[in-house]
Structure 1
Amino acid sequence: MNTIRTAMLLAFLTALFMAVGYLIGGGGGMVIAFLMAAGMNLFSYWNADKMVLAMNHAVEVDASNAPEFHAIVKDLADRAGLPMPKTYLIDNPQPNAFATGRNPQNAAVAATTGLLERLSHEEVAAVMAHELAHVQHRDTLTMTITATIAGAISMLGNFAFFFGGNRDNNNPLGFIGVLVAMIVAPLAAMLVQMAISRTREYEADRRGAEICGQPLWLASALDKIARAAERIPNMDAERNPATAHLFIINPLSGERMDNLFSTHPATENRIAALQAMAKESGGRSGPAATPDPEAGTGPWGRSQNQSTAPWGRSQSQSGGPWGRNHPTGPRGPWS
């Protein structure tokens, strides 16, 4: 049902884009709008992932400089039956993560340093499983196309403001058509983009919980990330708000309500859905468990003899997200 809903919303968005072109320039304007949409989508298909990663100053890492993080993603990708994506780290104190790429063979997942420093190993695994679910569902391509078309509709609205005021035969509705192109169409495009984003987040939560095997790990991670995002700004995301919908939790300030104007569902609703999923699968229900800080929790500070991976793989004893032996050693890609 969510797939059908997403397809319908994308079809509506494309039709809206062509309608705006028609309102501005009649049949010729609609053809121009269609050609613009095709060109922009082709460009985003090949280059959007590079643009998003560059906007967030992401640095590619591998098993040599981020062994534990790389191992988490590799184990999860194997469990999901996906090719190993490229792994990136973002030097940002706000815990968050996103996925990008046009298909599973060309995917990338990125996590902030804040995510690795503030969440336990299990919670980091759950977050990355959520991002791999986006890759598996090809949400990264869907959201890129959605953002591109929505942005193009807004661009056409601005074009109508400056050039669409003449009441000639090219503009079939005259000034009314200009107003629709300027105000109504961009607003409708924004609502459709947000509806698609919210739909895909619920699906990625469900599949991510299946990949990591523990819905409550993801519920706990979402709670921690949401609370931290309220206090810790993400300045790269603030400067590029069009990429906010890619993150697992909205990185921008002031977005908490589960309404049409939110790019993400309310965290409380997502946690409730994961708790219900855990209960149905025979897991422990109730509030998401937060690991005891006195028990050596966190991905880099636990007992060396403790196996922490949900798939029974013993972890390396490198001691840190960058492969350093805590508290000394090289700091990683930003040292």
Structure 2
Amino acid sequence: MFNVSSTNQWKRDWGLTGRVFLTWILILLVYIFFIGVINLLFPGHFYLLIGLAFVMAFAQYFFSDKLVLMTTRAKIVEENEYPEFHRMIRKLCTEANLPMPRIAIMPSSVPNAFATGRSPSHAVVAATDSIMRLLTEEELEAVMAHELSHVKNRDILTMTIASFIAMVASIIIHNAFFMNILDGRNNNGAWIIMFIVAIAVWIVSTLLMLLLSRYREFAADRGSAVITRNPRALISALNKISGRMDSVPEKYKQEVAGANAFFIIPALTGKSLMEILSTHPSLERRVAALEKIESEMRGY
């Protein structure tokens, strides 16, 4: 899932790679099925629906950094404002063979970090001011290496492609009534079938996206361990962030809820969301995976 220089890589996690590959096959099958149904029932509307979804995907992909920064109120900072943080990111980028991203600081009592941007050359990595106070230098380095791994793995592109069919289904679900009126033909039965199929496809594609997102987090955790060669630092950081999250007042977590999919740990109380509906794996599973990686690195 992640590859850097030969000095700090080790065997590929074939189990994780296989699960990601299988998820993509299932997403592709949903694509083929849904597009086939649309084209069969409403050949005249096929290109309109695909076009609308393409516009949404285009905006999501090319303006993701601006939208996330605006939503989180994160501010791009220059090197003279945060020289130590810039030096840390530059060192990690050298290890990961990445160009230097823009760096942002997000004012929030929720300790967290995120990455966004459509490609490594248009990336932004950000940290909240509270996480910089909470973590040690090694722990913060491990967290930021995790975020740079998302950049390295081009996860914005990955999730944009994965979400495309869900966008098409969502358009149909929310506009089926008006599409039926605009159709101008006696197609009520076909639109009812299309509405039901769209709901089913939206549910299945959303669950597959959540599954892919969780695998993406495992891959970024692994990437952090590769870059820093210190998985124990990320384990410590994840435990600290999770522990502090439970004590953050609910109103502050609600303020940043829109960016939960981007955060290293969602701003949620530990048991407030079933894992199957989460964008992230459970803390316990992430720690177990990192401990396995640590054993691999030590050769036993």
Q: Output the TM-score relative to the length of structure 1.
A: 0.74
Runs of 4+ in 1 over 6 A off after TM superposition: none
| Structure 2: unaligned runs, 5 residues or longer | 1-17
The Cα shift of 1:226 comes to: 1.6
Contact 2:109 2:252 in 1 (8 A): no
Given the superposition, is the C-alpha separation of residues 2 and 93 from structure 1 closer, same or farther in structure 2, using an over 3 Å criterion?
same
Q: Matches of 1:255 and 1:243 in 2, distance apart?
A: 19
* Map 1:152-171 → 2, pairs under 5 A: 152-164=168-180, 170=187
Q: In the alignment, which of 171, 178, 194 is matched to residue 195 of structure 2?
A: 178
In structure 2, what is the equivalent of residue 200 of structure 1? 216
Q: Matches of 2:56 and 2:37 in 1, distance apart?
A: 16
Contact 2:256 2:267 in 1 (8 A): no
Q: Which has the higher helix share?
A: 2
Amino acid at match of 1:228: R
2:136 is aligned with 1:120:
yes
* Map 1:1-335 → 2, pairs under 5 A: 1-5=18-22, 7-12=24-29, 14-15=31-32, 18=35, 21-22=38-39, 26-147=42-163, 149-164=165-180, 170=187, 173-181=190-198, 183-232=199-248, 238=254, 241=257, 243-253=259-269, 259-282=275-298
Count of aligned residue pairs for this structure pair = 282
Q: Matches of 1:15 and 1:234 in 2, distance apart?
A: 42
Q: Choose 1 or 2 for highest CA Rg.
A: 1
Amino acid at match of 1:219: I
Q: Deviations over 1:193-221 (max 9, x none)?
A: 20111010111111111101101111111
Q: Percent identity?
A: 37
Q: Using the TM superposition, name which of 29-38 and 169-178 deviates more.
A: 169-178
SS of alignment partner, residue 44 of structure 2:
helix
Given the superposition, is the C-alpha separation of residues 35 and 205 from structure 1 closer, same or farther in structure 2, using an over 3 Å criterion?
same
Q: Matches of 2:100 and 2:210 in 1, distance apart?
A: 29
The Cα shift of 1:176 comes to: 3.2
Q: Matches of 2:278 and 2:37 in 1, distance apart?
A: 24
Q: Matches of 1:276 and 1:255 in 2, distance apart?
A: 25
Q: Output the TM-score relative to the length of structure 2.
A: 0.82
The Cα shift of 1:3 comes to: 5.0
Contact 1:98 1:248 in 2 (8 A): yes
Q: Matches of 1:16 and 1:242 in 2, distance apart?
A: 31
Q: Using the TM superposition, name which of 44-53 and 183-192 deviates more.
A: 183-192
SS of alignment partner, residue 231 of structure 1:
coil
Q: Using the TM superposition, name which of 132-141 and 233-242 deviates more.
A: 233-242
| Structure 1: unaligned runs, 5 residues or longer | 286-335
Given the superposition, is the C-alpha separation of residues 105 and 158 from structure 1 closer, same or farther in structure 2, using an over 3 Å criterion?
same
The Cα shift of 1:252 comes to: 3.5
Q: Deviations over 1:109-166 (max 9, x none)?
A: 0111111011111110000000111111111222244456534532321112554489
Contact 1:61 1:89 in 2 (8 A): yes
The Cα shift of 1:4 comes to: 2.5
Amino acid at match of 1:205: D
